[in-house]
Amino acid sequence: MGKLRIIGGDFRRRQLPVLDSPGLRPTPDRVRETLFNWLGQQLYGKRVLDLFAGTGALGIEALSRGATQLTFVESDAQVARHITQNLETLGAHQGHVIVGDARTFLSQSAARYDIVFLDPPFHQGWVADCCSALETGGWLAEEAMIYVETERDLIPEVPTRWSLHRETQAGESTARLYQRHAP
């Protein structure tokens, strides 16, 4: 079992256990630190959606930094239970874990989120469909921020209302933060 280190906020320096599960690819500390530097103080009072949550690292970091509501969506029941256990350990009652496929989740009725983390398994071709579903399904607040992590060589197709705000590369992945704009 590995460890997840919380970088900033109320849970800073806390270490949480993470499962060693096939296909589980936690966002590296350096990339998380960069992302949350980009977001700055924008997390306070925000509703956040963590799709393909995996270890829950991005969502837990957002809760640590002041997000008021966080929905984690994870398809692997054992991994989802582990996120729930870590939330209980931290006393982070603003986090809610949904066991299910993120693509199916996005096809249901929407709640609006201020920030979305989209980090699907690599080489599955799911990024464009998920971005489209977020936009057309009513999931995004007017000025939402959308973090998309992909394999390094993929340039995702995103809705025309999204503009690239920041971008970085680390190892085999590229991390992009998009800003949604009013029509």
What DSSP character marks residue 25? -
Provide the mean pLDDT of the chain: 93
pLDDT, tens digit (0-9, with 9 covering 90-100), for 119-128: 999 889 999 9
Q: Average the pLDDT over 176-183 and give the result.
A: 92
> Does the pLDDT at position 64 exceed 90?
yes
Domain extent listing, the chain: 2-180
Tokens of residue 108, six digits: 């249901």
Q: What is the mean pLDDT of residues 43-51?
A: 96
Give which of 115, 166, 110 is closest to 145, Cα–Cα.
115
pTM over 0.85: yes
Neighbours of 96 (CB within 10 A): 13
Q: What contacts 159, CB < 8 A, 6 or more positions away? A: 131, 132, 134, 135, 136, 180
Instruction: Label residue 44 by pLDDT band (50, 70, 90).
Output: very high
Class of CATH domain 2-180: alpha beta
1, pLDDT greater than 80:
no
pLDDT at 18 over 90: no
Percent of the chain with pLDDT over 90: 79
